[in-house]
């Protein structure tokens, strides 16, 4: 073992931790507020990373998929409004049928015209290389935000309306696993399950401080992710929205009595969590330039270990935990070998769960429900 590489490895560990931080905070937000383990977080991370890759590489089908996702969510929102509207039942039935017909027509139009490639052709001509960057970031963020709304309905809202307490059963967990399968297999059946690589626009931009090499994009994304999470925690602490979120986390039954509009706030939690994992996914593509359909399982689930280490529902705990896990991963690869990394990460998680289930800085009340 060559100890002169140690400072470099510490820096690499921090950089990797920076990607995990946002995913861990996304996990911890949902588990802290709504008391369920959201398995769509890894899927959304992967989706954002792959969409970013696809748009950088000029795959028009990415835009087609986005259009279909947006359509699905719009149709669902209109259907919700229709159901709540005070209209005579026949009008509602006709409206629902019209909605389905309209959705089918739009789907058929999208599938037959394939607007994606045309958009790319126009974009490359009109804007140049930077256009794809901008488009990739916007599309990845927008798709994930829109899908978060869809996921919120099927993991939380309908269950809450039907059973009073959405987390009583294992329902949200199972629905989120269903979404995980849908998203992963959409990507697999579109681009296959092999590794997908792209060129980093920053090239190998880097600078040296003493013996340590800092890669510019990695450093930027670490700073960005810490800034976002810092902003989030300030938001939780000071704004009205943050106070509403904390009240839901504290007592979901009492919050509505205090005038918190739970039905409006919960989608916001999902969208924030979704945007966090989408940002992590975009940064992952930019930094590591290689993605595949399984990075949700292999990369983002590691953030679960970071989240538990810091204590469920604790944003600052998630940051420290994710950084530690990133460090543990890089160090175990450096000292023993790449195949070894699973043992310290998951062994550490198992140990913490058994010895101190509340994590290093955890709340005791969270995660005690049935599932």
Partner 1 sequence: MSGYLESQLIILCLNVIYAYGIFLPAASGQLNLGAAGFITIGAYSSAWINASGAPMYIAIPASMLFCAAIAFTIAFPILRTRGVYMVLATFAFAEVVAGLIINLEFLGAAAGYPVESHADYLVVVPVTILVVLLCFFLMSTRLGLAMRSIHDDEAVATLFGVDVRLAKVAAFTLGAALMSLGGALYGHHYNYIETQTFNVLLSIYILLYVLLGGTQTAWGPLVGAAFFTVVPEALRQIATASGHAWIADSRFIFFGAIIVLMMVFRPEGLVTRTMVDRAATPFGGGRSGAAPAARTA
Interface ranges with partner 1 (CB under 8 A): 31, 35-37, 39, 154, 158-159, 162-164, 169-171, 173-175, 177-186, 188-189, 297, 301, 304-305, 308, 312, 337, 339-343, 345-347, 349-350, 353-354, 357, 367-371
The answer to whether 66 and 73 are in contact (CB under 8 A) is no
How far is residue 339's CA from residue 258's CA, in Å, rounded to a whole number?
52
Closest distance to partner 1 from the beta carbon of 108 (Å): 15
How far is residue 17's CA from residue 9's CA, in Å, rounded to a whole number?
12
For 277, other C-beta atoms within 10 Å of its C-beta total 32
Q: Between 312 and 322, name the residue whose CB sits nearer to partner 1.
A: 312
Closest distance to partner 1 from the beta carbon of 176 (Å): 9
CA atoms within 13 A on the CB side of 251: 7
Q: Between 162 and 240, name the residue whose CB sits nearer to partner 1.
A: 162
Closest distance to partner 1 from the beta carbon of 63 (Å): 19
Q: Between 256 and 357, name the residue whose CB sits nearer to partner 1.
A: 357
Q: Between 282 and 330, name the residue whose CB sits nearer to partner 1.
A: 330
In eight-state DSSP terms, residue 59 is -
* Helix axes 61-84 and 40-56, enclosed angle (nearest 10): 140
Closest distance to partner 1 from the beta carbon of 171 (Å): 5
CA atoms within 13 A on the CB side of 236: 21
Q: Between 158 and 214, name the residue whose CB sits nearer to partner 1.
A: 158
Closest distance to partner 1 from the beta carbon of 122 (Å): 27
Q: Between 116 and 367, name the residue whose CB sits nearer to partner 1.
A: 367
Q: Between 214 and 346, name the residue whose CB sits nearer to partner 1.
A: 346
Closest distance to partner 1 from the beta carbon of 130 (Å): 34
**What b-and-e string marks burial along 346-371, b requiring 16 or more CB atoms within 10 Å of the CB?**
eebbeebeeeeebbeebbeebbeeee
Q: Between 104 and 227, name the residue whose CB sits nearer to partner 1.
A: 104
Sign of CA dihedral 224, 229, 232, 233: negative
Closest distance to partner 1 from the beta carbon of 348 (Å): 9
How far is residue 260's CA from residue 33's CA, in Å, rounded to a whole number?
13
Q: Are strands 212-215 and 206-209 parallel, antiparallel or unpaired?
A: antiparallel
Query: Which contacts qualify for 294-297: CB closer than 8 Å, 24 or more apart?
Result: 294/46, 294/184, 294/193, 295/45, 295/46, 295/49, 296/42, 296/43, 296/45, 296/46, 296/180, 296/183, 296/184, 297/42
Closest distance to partner 1 from the beta carbon of 150 (Å): 9
The per-residue DSSP string of 334-350 comes to HHT-GGGTHHHHHHHHH
Q: Between 182 and 234, name the residue whose CB sits nearer to partner 1.
A: 182
215: β partners:
206
Closest distance to partner 1 from the beta carbon of 238 (Å): 29
């Amino acid at each position: 073992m060559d100890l002169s590489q140690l400072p470099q490895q510490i820096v690499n560990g921090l950089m990797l931790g920076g990607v995990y931080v946002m995913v861990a905070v996304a996990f911890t937000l949902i588990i802290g507020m709504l008391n369920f383990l959201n398995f769509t977080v890894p899927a959304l991370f992967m989706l954002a990373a792959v969409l970013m890759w696809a748009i950088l590489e000029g795959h028009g089908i990415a835009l087609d998929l986005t259009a279909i996702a947006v359509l699905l969510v719009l149709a669902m929102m209109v259907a919700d409004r229709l159901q709540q509207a005070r209209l005579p039942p026949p009008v509602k039935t006709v409206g629902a049928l019209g909605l389905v017909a309209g959705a089918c027509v739009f789907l058929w139009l999208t599938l037959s015209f394939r607007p994606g490639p045309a958009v790319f052709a126009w974009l490359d001509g009109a804007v140049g290389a930077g256009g794809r960057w901008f488009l990739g970031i916007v599309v990845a963020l927008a798709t994930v935000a829109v899908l978060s709304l869809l996921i919120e309905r099927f993991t939380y809202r309908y269950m809450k309306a039907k059973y009073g307490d959405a987390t009583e059963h294992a329902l949200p967990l199972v629905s989120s696993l269903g979404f995980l399968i849908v998203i992963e297999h959409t990507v697999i059946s579109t681009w296959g399950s092999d590794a997908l690589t792209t060129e980093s626009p920053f090239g190998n931009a880097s600078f040296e401080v003493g013996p340590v090499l800092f890669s510019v994009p990695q450093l930027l994304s670490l700073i960005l992710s810490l800034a976002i999470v810092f902003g989030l925690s300030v938001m939780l602490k000071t704004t009205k929205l943050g106070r509403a979120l904390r009240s839901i986390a504290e007592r979901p039954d009492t919050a509505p009595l205090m005038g918190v509009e739970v039905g409006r706030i919960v989608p916001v939690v999902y969208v924030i969590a979704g945007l966090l994992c989408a940002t992590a996914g975009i940064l992952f593509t930019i930094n590591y330039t290689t993605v595949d359909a399984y990075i949700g399982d292999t990369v983002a689930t590691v953030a679960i270990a970071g989240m538990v280490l810091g204590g469920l529902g604790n944003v600052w705990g998630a940051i420290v935990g994710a950084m530690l896990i990133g460090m543990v991963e890089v160090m175990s690869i450096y000292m023993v070998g790449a195949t070894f990394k699973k043992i310290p990460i998951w062994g550490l998680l198992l140990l913490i769960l058994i010895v101190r289930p509340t994590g290093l800085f955890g709340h005791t009340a969270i995660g005690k429900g049935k599932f």
